[in-house]
Amino acid sequence: MELSQRKEKILAAVVEHYIKTGEPVGSKTLLSALDINVSSATIRNEMAELVALGFLEQPHTSAGRIPTNEGYRYYVDHLMGVRPLDESVKRQIEAGVSIKNASPEAILAKASEFLADMTDCAAVSTTPSGENATIKRVEFVPVGTRTGMIVLLTSTGVIKSKVCRSDVDLNSSMIEKFYNIVKSSFLGMPLDEIDTATLQTLVASMGMDALTMIPFVSAVSDLAQEAMKTMVMLGGQSNILRYRDDYGTTAYELMDFLRRGEPISRLLANSKEDFDVKIGGENKFKQLENSSVIMAHYNIDGDNRGSIGIIGPTRIDYASLIPSVRYLTDLVGELLTQTLNDD
């Protein structure tokens, strides 16, 4: 639906005033704010029509109007002027997420914490997807006479480790055999191809070495399965309490929802857009019906690998937050690409 130019100006003014103040907007306030030569009665009529169309609502009989979720949607899609980031803000973001010699998990965790502090919203990020990832490196670190730690690194930079125990004393010959098996059977292999059947075939081919190698090759298989899982990094969930007036009694329900992690991982993973803004009921979870989610996918070497986003009330400042999330997400993708290529 397309609105007339005057209705668009009124809707934009209501949305921006409500985002700034949290107070319903009346016709007199709009008349003084808008650069249009009409009467207060005309403004009231236009607002009444916007209510009838579903873009505004009147919370109380004597109150002004506030945007509905449909009103925010129209504003974001058609009316909002996205503010370009100042160079100082760009430098602030760069300083906030850059870590030298850090793992992807550490970079993403810091990005979530910084994004939460910068936006006063809850921030989430997911580790690189295990889809299409391969085993890049496997290391064996002896930590005892019969105990060793297996460390696995994927092509997306995910690192997993596990301590395993042998039934016999470790020696250099055993460790050498393990590395030979890794080189011939695991390096470069897609994570999703390492399953029980593959492991059984590998063990059967080892002959007399099978008994001593089983704990170690099983550990590699377990770590590959673990690396397939997406981790959720959460920051600033207590920021939700800043918006008690917007959330009311559902603030703590939302915080508990965020702590559970897995639903948020599904929410971010199911978005097919490189950049997406979901408002209120557009989110598929009941706990997010009073929230807006701004999310973006970051790329590693040009491939979509994970997501970063913020969650706040529908009254968030879309015009300033959207470019910040975009810039930070692109920067994280560059940092992760550099980290993996330097490895």
Residue 321: the pLDDT is 94
pTM reported for the whole predicted model: 0.83
pLDDT in tens for each of the 343 residues of the chain? Answer: 789 999 999 999 999 999 999 999 998 888 888 877 888 899 999 999 999 999 999 887 667 899 999 999 999 999 998 778 999 999 999 999 988 778 888 899 999 999 999 999 999 998 887 778 899 999 999 999 999 999 999 988 888 999 999 989 999 999 999 999 999 999 999 999 998 888 888 888 888 888 889 999 999 999 999 998 888 888 999 999 988 888 877 888 899 888 887 787 777 777 777 899 999 999 888 899 999 999 999 988 777 678 999 999 999 999 999 999 999 999 999 988 888 776 5
Q: What radius of gyration, in Å, describes the C-alpha atoms of the chain? A: 26
Closest of 58, 63, 75, 54 to residue 8, by C-alpha: 75
- Answer yes or no: are the C-beta atoms of 123 and 307 closer than 8 Å: no
Tabulate helix, strand, coil % of the chain (nearest 5): 55, 20, 25
Q: What token pair was written down for 122?
A: 């809850």
- Answer yes or no: are the C-beta atoms of 8 and 79 closer than 8 Å: yes
Domains of the chain: 5-79 (1.10.10.10), 87-129+230-342 (3.30.450.40), 135-228 (3.30.390.10)
Give the C-alpha separation, 293 to 311, whole Å: 5
DSSP string covering 102-168: --HHHHHHHHHHHHHHHHSSEEEEEPPP-TT-BEEEEEEEE-SSSEEEEEEEETT--EEEEEEE-SS
